Amino acid sequence: MVTASDSDHFIYRIANGQPERQDPPGFTLSGNVWGSTELALAPDGTVHLGALTKVGGEFLAIYGKYAAGVWSTSLVYHGFAPVTGLEVGSDGAPRMWLKTTPTPPYGTSMAIESPAGAWTIGAQAVPSTTTDTRFTLASNTPVPVAFNDNGTQLLALVSGVARNVGSPISNLPDFDFAVTAPPAPNAVSGPLFAAVVPHADGIHVVGESAIAPETEVSVVGTSPLTPVCPAFGSATPCGGTCHETASGLGLPGFFALARTDDGTAWLAYATTQLNQTITYALESWGGSQMCRGSVTSDNSTSTLHLVRIRLDGSAPTEVLTIPIDSVMYDGSAEPHNIDIRGFGTDLAVGLRTVALTPTVPVPAVRILRIDTTKL
């Protein structure tokens, strides 16, 4: 388990049901952690990490590997290059994607490690010039796939060929998506990859094959949460209270997608049932009076959902629901408020949550390991 902020990071191994703090050489940071700290699982079960660090005023893209109970680390790139992805192919070689030009035209590179431990860095083509690009490796191959959007359509670049993924998107203020890591440890038949994209009617999951038609299914009960109480500055006249009871899918990043090595896709997402009293009062804002709503009581609940998707066009099946604390959202665009990973027939699900206590919020990371053969 890996989580990070701008000032610290935490790396834990879960052993016998207990968390054990890990400090790989080079990841014991005295400076800032920039961008994502990426985690990948190789087909042989080894754990791989990648992060951009700042130590002694120097930016360093660092890679770490945990095998046979020992961490080894190496320098991938010297300079400011946030890590945007990390995966290990069926050939056993790790690939780390770096935003080597973090300003327009937003150049992206891919670093690959040789069996001798040397890193080679080359340009990584992307479908469009958007800044939010994510990466995976196609099933059964070590071929990189790059994903981003043009504002209305999820795009993928496979072996230099761009393709549309799923149906066009409209009427969504935030274009967000998630893609699957390559299944491990065994090769699978079926789609090259799968992706999840929220639409106005809820989440859609797309299976993309090399030559066969893609499949696209919608998941019932995943419509976006739409508050019923007036938004900031819009209550007229200002005063009184409103009982907020909206329910639905939460903010961007409240979903993730994985595949087990039988080719099945697994969607994890969180919904919220708001039960709040909002009190409105005039407050000074930018030199003028604005009507602001403050939450004066909150008995909201959240639920984690796990859905099985066969990627053959058949209807998704919800297999598990678990009451949880609210999923934590800090305004970040990173897609890791909820994360999920498959290995064999097991799933690992990670959540950043916050408990609403009477005094101060209590943040936590919750880890679940699920044997899908029992579902």
As a whole number of angstroms, the distance between CA 56 and CA 30 comes to: 8
Tokens 């299914």: give the residue.
217
Q: In the chain, pLDDT over 70 holds for what percent of residues?
A: 88
Nearest by Cα to 350 from 329, 362, 331, 336: 336
The three-class DSSP label of residue 249 is strand
Q: What is the pTM of this model?
A: 0.90
Cα dihedral 143→185→166→98 (10° resolution): -50
DSSP state of 224: B
Of 58-67, 114-123, 173-182, the one with minimum mean pLDDT is 173-182
Instruction: State CA 214 to chain mean position distance.
Output: 23
- Cα separations (Å) of 129 from 103, 147, 168, 208? 11, 11, 18, 22
The mean of the pLDDT values for the chain is: 86
pLDDT at position 215 over 90 = yes
Q: Where are the alpha helices (DSSP H) in the chain?
A: none
- Of 213, 210, 304, 323, the C-alpha closest to 266 is 304
Could you give the CA distance from residue 302 to residue 331 in angstroms, rounded to a whole number?
19
Q: Sorting pLDDT into bands at 50, 70 and 90, what band is 252?
A: low
* Overall average pLDDT of the 266-289 stretch: 87
Which among 339, 2, 6, 301 is positioned nearest to 180, based on CA atoms?
Answer: 339
Cα–Cα distance for residue pair 320/308, rounded to 1 Å: 9
Instruction: Say if residue 94's pLDDT is above 90.
Output: yes
Task: Set out the domains of the chain in order of their start, with CATH numbers.
Answer: 1-124 (2.130.10.10), 166-375 (no CATH)
190: left (phi over 0), alpha (psi -120 to 50) or beta: left
Is the CB of residue 292 less than 8 Å from the CB of residue 285?
A: yes
> For the residues 199-216, what does the mean pLDDT come to?
90
For residue 326, give the amino acid letter.
S
DSSP state of 104: T
Residue showing tokens 């959902």: 305
DSSP code for 189: -
List, edge to edge, every strand of the sheet that includes 215-218: 178-179, 193-199, 202-208, 215-218
Per-residue pLDDT for 30 more than 50?
no
Segment 244-267 shows an average pLDDT of: 88
- pLDDT on residue 233: 62
Q: Which of 253, 262, 269, 184 is nearest to 218 (CA)?
A: 269
pLDDT band at 251 (very low <50, low <70, confident <90, very high): low
pLDDT of residue 137: 93
Backbone angles phi, psi at 364, to 5 degrees: -160, 165
- Asked whether 366 and 281 are in contact (CB, 8 A), the reply is no
- pLDDT surpassing 60 at residue 367: yes
Cβ pair 249, 222 in contact under 8 A: yes
Average pLDDT rounded to a whole number, residues 329-336: 57
Nearest CA to 164 among 129, 203, 199, 216? 216
For residue 155, give the nearest of 179, 171, 137 by alpha carbon.
179
Q: How far is CA 103 from CA 51, 61, 97, 106, in A?
A: 19, 18, 16, 5
* 148 close to 163: Cβ distance less than 8 angstroms: no
Percent of the chain, pLDDT > 90? 43
Answer yes or no: are the C-beta atoms of 235 and 217 closer than 8 Å.
no
- Lowest-confidence pick of 23-27, 183-187, 294-298: 23-27
Which phi and psi (to 5°) does residue 22 adopt? -115, 140
Backbone angles phi, psi at 205, to 5 degrees: -120, 130
- Tell me what pLDDT residue 244 has: 92
